[in-house]
Amino acid sequence: MPDPLDVIKNVFELEMSREFNDSSVSGGLAKFSAFLNKSEVKTTLGEKNAEILNSFLKSYPDLNRNDREKSISDVLRWLGDPSEPLSLTFLSINETSKSVSQEKQKKYQDPALFASVKSIRGIGERNIKIFNKLGIERVIDLLRYYPRRYQDYSNLKTIDQVAYGDELSIIGSISQDVFIRESRSGKLRIVETAIGDGTGTLRLNWFNKPFLKNQLKIGMPIVVSGKIDSYLGRLVMTSPEWEPLESDQLHTNRIVPIYPLTAGISQRQLRNIIGHNLSIWIRRLKEYLSESILNEENLIPISEAIKQIHFPEAVGELNQAQKRFAFE
């Protein structure tokens, strides 16, 4: 078989040339994990490096463009000297926080924080299995179940205000039928539609995601986030992140958390459960970093960090919370 390092290099360089739009592998870059799971490939990469790359590929659809670019750059640099351990920018706060010993935490924290999550208001016996699938088994797991990204409604524009190169969020409704066409090479299936907001329309397209045809319907209110490109002289947002628009997103938080989900629960339900219980439980959290460390590293207290990581009041507060957990 070809050198696995060359194969990985070629795939990631192709993804880079395609502006990190998850089209370098048919069905998305996550499908490439099948190659990494081959025993001979694992041997070449090393077990730990293969594990990190696999985690990256599985997370790739949920990463924003900046994290995709930084992480692929990390991989390509590592391929230049694979004798060094692989380290990726993408590793989420959910992963870095695991380095804080749970046993050590128990010595300092209120035992109630380690009770079953079914004691949380809004969970109970009815949907405990759903939360367990998300890895949320105890109260503290819910507090530490961080968003994978955010919708920043402070960075909104109407469609008539957007320009080439803008990275932003837009609110509107699907204004055209959703259809699928093939690229000239026949290797890509492109989903196309448009969003309108009363000031104009903007074309949207996604690569190799035909299932979107069944999810997006004319008149459906959505919010899309991404970079404005140009195609044949028209502005277009390519492979944007999107979700159905819920009224509470605009009125309760300017920066809205987006969580990893599983079947049986929606963003609104999870936000409501966390939002209704957060203030109750963060009062029980005790600070376990010394005052000198907090001062020297300019870190915010744990209770404030948990609050701001879930429902940040502004970008600055979110950055402070992320800094705290990255330090951990």
For residue range 118-162, list pLDDT tens digits in order: 888 888 777 888 888 888 888 889 999 998 888 777 667 889 999
Single-letter residue type at 235: L
Could you write out the DSSP letters of every residue in 146-193? --SEEEEGGGB--GGG--TT-EEEEEEEE-S--EEEE-TTSS-EEEEE
**Both tokens of residue 218?**
């004319």
Kindly tell me the sign of the dihedral angle through the C-alpha atoms of 321, 326, 327, 328: positive
Of residues 263 and 315, the one with the higher pLDDT is 315
**Both tokens of residue 229?**
């490109």
Q: For residue 275, what is the enclosing H or E element?
A: helix 267-282
User: Which residues 6+ apart lie within 8 Å of 177 measured at CB?
Assistant: 193, 218
Instruction: Report how many helices (DSSP H) and strands (DSSP E) the chain contains, helices first.
Output: 15, 9
Judged on CB neighbours under 10 Å (0-12, 13-18, 19+), 243 is middle
Tell me the C-alpha distance between 218 and 247, whole Å.
Answer: 18
The predicted pLDDT at position 248 comes to 57
The predicted pLDDT at position 252 comes to 45
Residues composing the chain: 328
Tell me the C-alpha distance between 98 and 220, whole Å.
Answer: 39
Q: What is the CATH number of domain 151-247?
A: 2.40.50.140
- Per-residue pLDDT at 102 exceeds 60: no
How does pLDDT run across 247-279, given as a tens digit for each residue? 655 444 478 888 887 778 888 888 889 988 898
Per the CB < 8 A criterion, the answer to whether 73 and 79 are in contact is no
Of residues 295 and 258, the one with the higher pLDDT is 295
Q: Give 230's strand partners.
A: 235
Of residues 255 and 196, the one with the higher pLDDT is 196
Distance of CA 236 to the CA centre of its chain: 22
Domain with CATH 2.40.50.140 in the chain: 151-247
- Per-residue pLDDT at 116 exceeds 70: yes
- Per-residue pLDDT at 215 exceeds 50: yes
> How much is the average pLDDT of 86-114?
61
Average pLDDT, the chain: 83
Of residues 154 and 74, the one with the higher pLDDT is 74
Single-letter residue type at 150: Y
- Per-residue pLDDT at 91 exceeds 70: no
- Per-residue pLDDT at 178 exceeds 90: yes
The predicted pLDDT at position 274 comes to 92
Of residues 94 and 169, the one with the higher pLDDT is 169
